[in-house]
């Protein structure tokens, strides 16, 4: 606790007893005769590990690993309040009989586990006759365990090695009245009567060499009535696919009583396969023929043979979707029976190791320069799979492709300069599954469930190159280009018996751009009266599809659109230019009329418009200036559920006005005879930008031109009142300025400052923010290698330092008083200093120290609601060296070693610190983070060949949490290799 605030961290000055006093402050304290007057100290040591007399002490328990260095509290489960309710399950164990108090002796004892007073007890948790319930106990919310001993008048010691909550993935199904089923395990270590199945060997731990226990699931049944069954089940997290196996086997150990074993597997309790097998005493190796059991779904003869083998099914199970197992026992006799069976090694065997073949053939040919033909054929069997795949695709797949490309222009005179490529392609793919879809039945005729797709494509395009002498051709065909394509597709699949689609696409473009600039002179300035670019293009797309599902229902779709593009670039004067682009998309399914009297090209559904103006005056020569304005406008029509109806238009406009300048101070000062001063200063650069955006929904018409060009924030048209979206707008202003000065011949100082103000507005809020950066300083000292103490050691060296201060505020537009939401101040020395040097021996070193701090204050109604302060710093030293030894280097015990390429070495040392404190309201901040980290890294890499590069790295680091007094250590050694495939 700090400043009356709980931080959940146990500091050293807080580790007192419940009396709140340290030993030295307790009455009667004496370091030798009475070191713990209150008797509240914690202590425990491995040397006296059986002495638990001070295990619950509260003073000094910061060293208790079970406490995790948390403060003492009665709120053990951290739910925020003290739990006083007694809600629990109570179990009473008679240690003299190893059974429930007043119950059956030995009921909890596991056979053959008694040794020198030790025994293993297993207590069923949810047997209602073995426990009592106090309060409102909930079995789904168990948080604590309480142990006590009663019934003895003398000092008694009870040793407990461990208390484990154990369970089983198998759960009991309901049993009949008077019958009982218990799920247990038996293994080679704890049960003397247990023997492993034939051929099953115990595994040996590779580290300790000790044999691991081998165990079986035990189903113990009592008073199982004639014709009755008991069973357990297990649900899997993910479905399993067993279609690639032919057998399922399981070892079952039968009891002296005559019983039948039952196993079910499937998707759930209503869809499963079932197998029955009589059990003899001892181990039985039961095999289930997965191929035969799936024939229950086949014709009558196959189903009869499968039934005679004890197989049956319920619902519609599939080996491709197994998520549940059931194991059970059936009493085939006429008298109740009791006993137990053991189940072990449930497994899949006999995988379908069928060969899978895949192949591909391709042919390409070319006839001179006017015709090329190509084709390929590929096939892949259902069992074929790649190296990274475990199984095949489950279907026989094949594909065929043909393509022909014809240069029609080769049959025309060369002087025409036209290009007319014509292309045609045909594709077919066929897939025949091995299994019936969503089933495990092997298809006798895969063609009935085949998937076929056919696709054909025709493309043609036109373009003329060069410039014709005929003016009509020069202004028409020379400037036109176009293309046309047709695509048709047909297919069928088990789910979609019939489907087809088609697409007609045509494009046309016209370039009216002048071949050369045209101008006349006014006041000694050239005026360019023609645009530099003027283009128009249109693309029509008419496509549709229809498909029929397996129930005979048809689905049809049709799209008919026209995309138009217009682009204009015009440089009126040198340095003054403007650009305009317009892109529209029209829906031609409605309101299409191609008559000259009532020409209408559908309804416009989308529009993109961009306008930009740039001005770069070239005078005076000592100032570089750049002014620009750019706006983008987007409009989207929204349709009602009924085709053709509209719910208005959604419009968005973004505009940016910017100005940049660079004042060439050295040139200006030289022109006024201040050459010496001009040689020490750097150019003065500055910029200013204003950006704004607006978004409006449900407009009934096109907004006004001022809105589209970004001059007005209001569209000045009506809107649909049923539209729920809220209109919004935002703006920002940004300015910065920078310059520099040469303090010494190789010592330069750069300075900058910046300002940014932004705001966003909706119908319910108006939030602004302001950021001021002042100052921003960078100091650089080059040529340190010329200093006398470095001249003989380094080739080059430089020193850098940087500082930046940033002030930030956020809130309502006035940003003061009750309108202020937060404010912050950041100070960054990044770096405070950075020294880079390349030494004469080729080693490159960097020594860098950086530090930063920030302070943030949050406000509510003008009153401080919280503060956050943070500080970080880092000191790093890095070294790198590239070793080249093609002639060889001598190493002890290794002799002369030659390196074919460079060996790159790198090492670094880093020291870092992070500190953060948080305060609430006007209270002083409390530390939340205080960490110190140091790390040492070394790396090396070597290119062994043109395609293989390898390396190694070593890392040692410690991160100490000074608040919790913990240290995290990392010791890492790694190797890596990179293989390139060209």
User: How many other β-carbons are positioned within 10 Å of the β-carbon of residue 358?
Assistant: 14
- 274 and 373 fall within a common domain: no
- 366 and 339 fall within a common domain: no
Quick one: DSSP state of residue 667? H
Q: Which CATH number does the domain housing residue 279 bear?
A: 2.60.120.430
With 90 as the cut, is the pLDDT of residue 720 above it?
no
Asked whether the CA dihedral 316, 318, 321, 322 is positive or negative, the reply is positive
Stretch among 220-224, 241-245, 877-881 having the lowest mean pLDDT: 241-245
740 in a structural domain: no
The helix/strand/coil state of 295 is: helix
677: alpha, beta or left, given left = phi > 0 and alpha = psi -120 to 50?
Answer: alpha
**734 closest CA partner among 680, 697, 771, 689:** 689
Do 434 and 448 touch, CB atoms closer than 8 A?
Answer: no
Give 483's contacts (C-beta < 8 A, 6+ positions apart). 459, 460, 461, 462, 506, 507
Give dist(CA 679, CA 672) in Å, integer.
13
The residue ranking higher by pLDDT, 431 or 897, is 431
Asked whether the CA dihedral 31, 37, 42, 45 is positive or negative, the reply is positive
- Can you give the pTM of this predicted structure? 0.69
- 489 and 473 fall within a common domain: yes
User: What is the mean pLDDT of the segment spanning 423-437?
Assistant: 90
- 343 and 362 fall within a common domain: no
- 373 and 414 fall within a common domain: yes
893 in a structural domain: yes
- 446 and 431 fall within a common domain: yes
Quick one: DSSP state of residue 394? S
Residue positions counted in the chain: 982
Give dist(CA 113, CA 134) in Å, integer.
32
pLDDT at 723: 84
795 in a structural domain: no
Instruction: Provide the residue range defining the domain that includes 427.
Output: 358-494
Query: Between the CA of residue 724 and those of 633, 693, 721, what are the distances in Å?
Result: 22, 20, 8
| Residue ending a domain, choose from 494, 528, 552 | 494
pLDDT at 80: 77
| Residue ending a domain, choose from 304, 325, 351 | 351
Phi, psi of 397 (to 5 degrees): -115, 140
Tell me the pLDDT tens digit for each residue of 94-144.
Answer: 988 888 888 888 888 877 778 888 988 888 888 888 889 999 999 888 888
- 274 and 423 fall within a common domain: no
Query: Between the CA of residue 821 and those of 192, 784, 857, what are the distances in Å?
Result: 74, 48, 9
Give dist(CA 156, CA 965) in Å, integer.
40
| Residue ending a domain, choose from 472, 494, 516 | 494
- 415 and 325 fall within a common domain: no
Strand 229-240, strand 245-254: pairing = unpaired
- 327 and 378 fall within a common domain: no
951 in a structural domain: yes
pLDDT at 640: 42
- 267 and 365 fall within a common domain: no
- 193 and 340 fall within a common domain: yes
pLDDT at 644: 44
- Find out whether the peptide bond into 363 is cis, omega within 30 degrees of 0: no
Instruction: Please report which helix (H) or strand (E) contains residue 634, including its range.
Output: strand 623-639
Cα dihedral 793, 794, 798, 801, rounded to 10, equals -50
When divided into structural domains, the chain yields a total of 3
pLDDT at 884: 76
- Find out whether the peptide bond into 831 is cis, omega within 30 degrees of 0: yes
- 365 and 329 fall within a common domain: no
pLDDT at 302: 61
Give dist(CA 951, CA 941) in Å, integer.
4
The helix/strand/coil state of 66 is: helix
282 in a structural domain: yes
Q: How far apart are the first and last CA of the chain?
A: 63
| DSSP assignment of 188-221 | TTT-TT--PPTT----B-TTT-PBPP-EEEEEEE
User: How many other β-carbons are positioned within 10 Å of the β-carbon of residue 797?
Assistant: 21
567 in a structural domain: no
Tell me the pLDDT tens digit for each residue of 882-907.
Answer: 887 655 555 555 556 666 678 899 99
**Share of residues in the chain with pLDDT > 90 (%):** 54
Do 184 and 218 touch, CB atoms closer than 8 A?
Answer: yes
With 60 as the cut, is the pLDDT of residue 957 above it?
yes
């Amino acid at each position: 606790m700090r400043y009356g605030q709980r931080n959940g961290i146990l500091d050293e000055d807080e580790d007192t007893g419940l009396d709140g006093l340290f030993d030295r402050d307790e009455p009667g304290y004496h370091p030798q005769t009475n070191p713990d007057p209150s008797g509240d100290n914690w202590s425990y040591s491995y040397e006296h590990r059986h002495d638990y007399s001070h295990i619950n002490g509260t003073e000094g328990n910061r060293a208790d690993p079970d406490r995790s260095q948390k403060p003492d509290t009665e709120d053990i489960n951290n739910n925020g309040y003290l739990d006083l309710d007694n809600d629990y399950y109570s179990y009473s164990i008679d240690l003299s009989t190893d059974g429930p108090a007043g119950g059956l002796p030995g009921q909890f004892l596991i056979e053959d586990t008694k040794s020198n007073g030790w025994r293993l007890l297993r207590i069923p948790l949810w047997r209602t006759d073995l426990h009592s319930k106090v309060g409102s106990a909930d079995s789904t919310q168990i948080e604590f365990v309480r142990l006590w001993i009663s019934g003895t008048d003398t000092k008694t010691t009870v040793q407990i090695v461990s208390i484990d909550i154990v369970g089983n993935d198998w759960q009991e199904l309901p049993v009949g009245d008077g019958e009982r089923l218990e799920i247990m395990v038996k293994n080679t270590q704890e049960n003397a009567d247990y023997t492993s199945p034939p051929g099953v060997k115990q595994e040996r731990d590779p580290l300790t060499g000790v044999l691991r226990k081998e165990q079986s699931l035990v189903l113990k049944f009592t008073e199982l009535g004639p014709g009755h069954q008991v069973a357990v089940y297990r649900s899997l997290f993910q479905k399993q696919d067993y279609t690639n196996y032919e057998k399922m086997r399981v070892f079952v150990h039968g009891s002296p009583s005559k019983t039948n074993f039952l196993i079910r597997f499937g998707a759930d309790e209503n869809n499963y396969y079932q197998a029955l097998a009589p059990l003899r005493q001892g181990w039985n190796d039961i095999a289930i023929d997965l191929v035969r059991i799936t024939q229950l779904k086949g014709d009558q003869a196959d189903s009869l043979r499968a039934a005679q083998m004890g197989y049956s099914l319920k619902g519609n199970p599939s080996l491709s979707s197994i998520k549940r197992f059931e194991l059970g026992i059936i009493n085939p006799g006429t008298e109740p029976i009791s006993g137990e069976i053991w189940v072990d090694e449930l497994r899949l065997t006999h995988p379908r190791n069928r060969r899978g073949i895949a192949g591909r053939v391709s042919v390409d040919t070319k006839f001179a320069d006017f015709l090329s033909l190509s084709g390929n054929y590929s096939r892949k069997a259902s069992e074929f799979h790649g190296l990274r795949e475990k199984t095949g695709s489950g279907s026989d797949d094949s594909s065929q492709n043909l393509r022909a490309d014809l240069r029609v222009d080769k049959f025309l005179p060369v002087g025409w300069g036209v290009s007319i490529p014509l292309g045609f392609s045909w594709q077919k793919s066929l897939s025949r599954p091995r299994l019936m879809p969503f089933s495990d039945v092997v298809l006798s005729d895969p063609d009935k469930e085949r998937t076929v797709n056919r696709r054909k494509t025709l493309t043609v395009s036109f373009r003329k190159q060069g410039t014709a002498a005929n003016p009509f051709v020069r202004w028409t065909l020379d400037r036109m280009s176009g293309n046309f394509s047709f695509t048709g597709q047909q297919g069928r699949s088990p789910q979609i018996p019939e489907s087809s689609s088609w697409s007609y696409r045509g494009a046309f473009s016209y370039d009216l751009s002048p071949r050369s600039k045209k101008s006349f002179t006014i006041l000694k300035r050239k005026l360019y009266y023609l645009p530099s670019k003027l283009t128009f293009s249109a693309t029509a797309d008419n496509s549709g599809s229809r498909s029929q599902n397996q129930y005979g229902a048809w689905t049809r779709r049709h799209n008919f659109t026209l995309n138009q593009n217009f682009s204009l670039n015009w440089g009126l004067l040198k340095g003054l230019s403007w650009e305009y682009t317009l892109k529209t998309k029209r829906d031609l399914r409605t309101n299409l009329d191609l008559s000259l009297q009532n020409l209408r090209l559908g309804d416009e559904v989308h529009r993109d418009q961009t306008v930009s103006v740039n001005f770069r005056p070239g005078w005076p020569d000592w100032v570089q200036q750049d002014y620009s304005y750019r706006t983008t406008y987007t409009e989207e029509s929204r349709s009602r559920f009924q085709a053709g109806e509209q719910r208005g238009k959604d419009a968005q406009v973004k505009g940016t006005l910017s100005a940049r300048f660079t004042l060439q101070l050295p040139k200006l000062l030289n022109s006024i005879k201040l050459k010496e001063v001009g040689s020490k200063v750097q150019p003065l650069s500055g910029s200013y930008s204003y950006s704004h955006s607006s978004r409006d929904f449900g407009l009934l018409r096109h907004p006004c031109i001022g809105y589209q060009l970004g001059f007005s924030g209001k569209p000045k048209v009506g809107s649909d009142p049923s539209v729920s979206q809220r209109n919004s707008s935002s703006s920002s202003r940004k300015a910065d300025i920078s310059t520099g000065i040469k303090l010494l011949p190789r010592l330069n100082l750069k300075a900058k400052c910046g300002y940014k103000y932004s705001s966003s507005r909706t119908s319910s809020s108006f939030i602004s923010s302001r950021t001021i950066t002042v100052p921003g300083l960078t100091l650089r000292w080059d040529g340190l290698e010329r200093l006398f103490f470095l001249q003989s050691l380094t080739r080059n060296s430089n020193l850098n330092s940087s500082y930046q201060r940033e002030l930030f505020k956020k809130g309502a537009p006035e940003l003061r008083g009750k309108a202020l939401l937060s404010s912050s101040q950041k100070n960054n020395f990044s770096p405070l200093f950075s020294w880079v040097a390349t030494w004469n021996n080729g080693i490159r070193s960097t020594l860098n120290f950086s530090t930063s701090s920030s302070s943030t204050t949050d406000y509510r109604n003008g009153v401080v609601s919280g503060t956050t302060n943070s500080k970080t710093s880092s000191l790093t030293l890095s070294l790198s060296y590239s070793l080249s030894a093609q002639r060889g280097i001598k190493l002890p015990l290794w002799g002369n070693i030659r390196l074919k390429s460079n060996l790159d070495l790198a090492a670094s040392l880093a020291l870092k610190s992070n500190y953060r404190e948080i305060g609430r309201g006007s209270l002083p901040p409390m530390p939340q983070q205080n960490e110190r980290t140091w790390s040492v890294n070394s790396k090396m890499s070597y290119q062994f060949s043109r395609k293989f590069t390898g390396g190694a790295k070593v890392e040692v680091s410690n991160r100490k949490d000074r608040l919790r007094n913990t240290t995290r250590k990392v010791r890492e050694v790694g190797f890596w290799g990179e293989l390139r495939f060209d």
